[in-house]
Structure 1
Amino acid sequence: MSPVVVSGMRPTGRLHLGHYHGVLKNWLRLQNSAECYFFVADWHALTTHYETPGGIAEASWDLLTEWLAVGIDPERATLFLQSWVPQHAELALLLGMLTPLSWLERVPTFKDQQEKLRERDLATYGFLGYPLLMTADILLYGAEEVPVGADQVAHLEISRELARRFNFLYGREADAPARVADAEKRMGKAWTRAYRDLVQRYRTAGDVQAVEEAQALLAEACSLSADDRALLLRELQGRGREILVEPRALLTEAARMPGLDGQKMSKSYGNTIALREDPDSVRQKLRTMPTDPARVRRQDPGDPDKCPVFALHQVYSDAQRREWVVAGCRSAGIGCLECKSPLIDSVLEELAPIRERAEFWAARPAELRDLAKQGAARARRRAEGTLDRVRAAMGLVLGDDHPR
């Protein structure tokens, strides 16, 4: 069976080449080898834009349009709006019942985003609790893999920990507490106190070092059998029968798309080229890109490593073209506009079919809406199976009267 992969994007405006090279090209590869669920994270957009939600709906349709325009295929991947699958909210609520507050407060982006977005009031439950919604997005579909960059692996860890904690609380063997108590007695009081301190460190603070210390502690406890050690380690880590799948990070190639100023392409830097940008605007942006400041005059030699234009050549040009740029720049054999000319052609060539397909879908809002409905229906069917297991494990009333 193909692995299940889940990923989403917040609808915060039109996509640019950074999104295409950094995320969407990976999605295009994954849709051919995995069971993919790609969703518009409109509820997530509200966690930071709840005061100004006016543009979220339009941006959501723009996002779907541009996914289709780059080649995401609704026959090979399930595309939907997060808010059209209410099971996301239900699972996030249920996970909230068992999530320690300290776990949410230590999520890497919590304080970082509050610092970066000081102009917004982010002292809300929605912002604090967004990792629960993110976790629900992933666990609902039994995702085995979540495509992330190396800098995002830590963000996935809370989803792994919550799946583990849920499975421990609701998938634990009935006799596990008694067996743990017997094993602790065999360890003795001092060793048991040390072990319980490690359990507390791991469960409340997510201190992974506590797991390694527990392994060493249990290995030295001569009174324990191998089965006792395995039981106590599972107890510390909170592992039980698998009800929710613990997702793995699918590390994707970090395609750093340079912007017009040489920094990473980002709307916050104002250095982007949009996927649907007018060709004349693209030409103007690329023609007026800054170059090596040492090249004041045409005859001045330059250094490609200090030129943002060369950074784009490394994305769009083959080895022969890059050699031509380096040699011509260092010797002043070519001018900056001459260097930019083939780059302009390459970018326009890449964008032309994307813009054409985007215009096709933008002119068919009813068909786009139907695709979103079909995707949401498929997503709900998959999500409901997970929630049936979750409700049963948590002792909630099931049966024919449940309003599915």
Structure 2
Amino acid sequence: MSEAPTDTLSSRPRVLSGMRPTGALHLGHYHGALKNWVNLQATHDCFFFVADWHALTTHYQDRSTIERNVYDMVVDWLAAGIDPEQATLFIQSRMPEHAELFTLLAMSTPAAWLERIPSYKDQLEKNRPNGEGATYGFLGYPLLQAADILIYKAACVPVGEDQTAHVEVTREVARRFNRIYSPERAILPEPQELLTATPRLPGLDGQKMSKSAGNAIAMRDGPEVVDEKVRTMPTDPQRVRRSDPGEPSRCPVWPLHQLYSDASTQAWASEGCRKASIGCLDCKKPLIEAIQAEQKPWRERAEAFLANPKQVQWIVEVGTERARAVARKTLREVRTAMGLAY
């Protein structure tokens, strides 16, 4: 393994994206983000980071599992096909440069910009009954997110539709900084969002797939686990008996067919459901097989990394050093513009 991705990557548009470490990833993570990352690394200079500081904005008391969650998630990235020869992988908390830029940007960012974020208002109401309210870290996380992006001068940020507001805040922060400190030459470029093709993957109950909701299929679930989870999924509530005709649009299984099944299989499943010529287990069988086939190479690649954890740590170490070189260069420009180059 080389010590860093090749220099040719620097001529490509730069992409920055991160994930909070919540442990092993599920199919929603893959189709909502990772699949896009794998494609982008062939055409962009990709920086992908473990957002462990961001995890602490809402789970600041959960310190016992964070290290395991960090490396479980990195293994899933590698298993999905993220190539450390093409992309830079690193851990946010290993980069104090992010915290310094966050602090410097905070000096000129109006507090009202952060207070108007819908998720902050929701968290404020959620914690009001226990008298705590939202923490300062949670209030500031959109600005920390902006620092994460701007310190690498990312041109693009892959996000779902529900996250576009955060990229807009980042653009506002960059615009304000450049106007105040560097009006002649914009130091911090304004990033654009790259919307994911699958913004929301339904879970086993038809709601958004989520580990905390208990409705997820993990990327590394074994074949027998996938079989059991999909077989027991609820179906069209109006199809009580095998002989009752159903309607795919009412069935939580159908969105998964739309993602995993080809046109002929979808036509077979929808017609069989509406005419009651197939049962729900018949409908689920090709879906189970498709999910298992997708997971097989992930598990194989993951096993190799799990057998050699030092290799995973080395990949992160190399990525962190490359990220630090880029971050420090930006930080020097920011400090100079702010009159702090002494």
C-alpha spacing 1:117/1:146, structure 2 compared with 1 (3 Å): farther
Aligned to 1:159: 170
Q: Give the structure 2 partner of residue 170 of structure 1.
A: 181
2:133 & 2:43 partners in 1: Cα distance? 39
Task: Indicate conservation of the 8 Å contact 1:329/1:335, yes or no.
Answer: yes
Corresponding residue for 1:307? Answer: 251
Normalising by structure 1, report the TM-score: 0.79
Instruction: Map 1:136-155 to 2 at 5 A.
Output: 136-155=147-166
1:321 aligns with 2:265: yes
Cα deviations across residues 46-94 of structure 1 (Å, max 9, x unaligned)? 1111122221111000111000000001011100001111111111111
1:245 deviation in Å?
A: 1.3
Match of 1:224 in 2: none
Deviations 1:151-175 (A, max 9, x none): 2211112211111111111113xxx
**How far off its partner does 1:295 sit?**
2.2
Report the AA paired with residue 298 of structure 1: R
2:325 partner letter? R
- Tell me the matched-pair count: 331
Asked if 1:8 is matched to 2:9, the reply is no
Aligned pair in 2 of structure 1 residues 136, 304: CA closer, same or farther (>3 Å)? same
Superposed displacement of residue 132, structure 1: 1.9
Work out which of the residue numbers 340, 347, 366 in structure 1 matches 2:284: 340
17-26 vs 115-124, which moves further:
115-124
Q: Which residue of 1 aligns with 2:327?
A: 383
Alpha-carbon separation, structure 2, partners of 1:119 and 1:80: 37
SS of equivalent residue, structure 1 residue 308: coil
Distance across 1 between alignment mates of 2:175 and 2:30: 34
* Superimposed CA distance per residue, residues 202-230 of structure 1 (whole angstroms, 9 cap, x where no aligned partner): xxxxxxxxxxxxxxxxxxxxxxxxxxxxx
TM-score, length-normalised on structure 2?
Answer: 0.92
Are residues 12 and 122 of structure 1, via their aligned partners in 2, closer, same or farther at CA, if it must alter by over 3 Å? Answer: farther
SS at match of 1:249: strand
Does the 8 Å CA contact 2:90/2:319 hold for their aligned counterparts? yes
2:296 equivalent to 1:356: no
The 1:116/1:359 distance shift into structure 2, 3 A limit, reads farther
Gap change, CA 1:136 and 1:353, over 3 Å in 2: same
Secondary structure in structure 2 of the residue aligned to 1:38: strand
Q: How does 1:143-222 map to 2 (within 5 A)?
A: 143-172=154-183
What's the C-alpha RMSD, in Å, of the aligned pairs? 1.6
Tell me, yes or no, if structure 1 residue 106 matches structure 2 residue 116. yes
Partner Cα distance (2:111, 2:238) in 1: 54
8 Å contact from structure 2 (residues 161, 199) kept in 1: no
The gaps in structure 2 that reach 5 residues or longer are 1-10
Give the match for residue 297 of structure 1: 241
Query: Amino acid of the residue matched to residue 76 of structure 1?
Result: Q
CA offsets 1:14-61 (integer angstroms, 9 cap, x no match): 210011111111111111111110000011111111122221111000
- Structure 1 gap segments, 5+ residues each: 173-239, 399-404
Query: Which is richer in helix?
Result: 1
Hey, what's the Cα distance between the residues in 1 that align with 2:235 and 2:256?
12
Hey, what's the Cα distance between the residues in 2 that align with 1:78 and 1:119? 42
Alignment of 1:17-32 (within 5 A): 17-32=27-42
Kindly, what percent of the aligned residue pairs are identical? 60
1:119: how far off? 7.9
Aligned partner of 2:101 in structure 1 is 91
Q: In the aligned structure 1, how far is the partner of 2:322 from the partner of 2:231?
A: 46
